[in-house]
Amino acid sequence: MLSEPVANAVRQARRLLLLEITIIGSTLHAAVVDDAPGLPTVRDPDHQETGGRGMKIVEALADRWGYIPGFERKTVWFDLTLP
């Protein structure tokens, strides 16, 4: 799951890419900050398309996920409950 928002940032970010992973209690919180334009979307690509499924995977597997828009940057995050 982490590879999806990180790969998006690597492909699209201009100069900024930060990764933060924290564990508090039984929750793993991952956040990717980048300065790429646009906000993440959950797409339903055509069968023939070779991309566009990443955030759908995150949505399906994460307990919670979202994004925080900011001035010239955004944060894409997700939470997982650990066993």
What are the phi and psi torsion angles at 38 (to 5°)? 85, 165
Enumerate the β-bridge partners of residue 22.
Answer: 29
pLDDT at 52: 63
Give the pLDDT confidence of 15-57 residue by residue, as tens digits.
999 999 999 999 999 999 999 988 888 877 777 876 667 788 8
Give the pLDDT confidence of 72-83 residue by residue, as tens digits.
999 999 999 999
CATH architecture of 3-81: 2-Layer Sandwich (3.30)
- pLDDT > 90? residue 58: yes
CA 1 to chain centre: 8
pTM of the model: 0.87
Secondary-structure percent of the chain, ordered helix, strand, coil, rounded to 5: 20, 40, 40
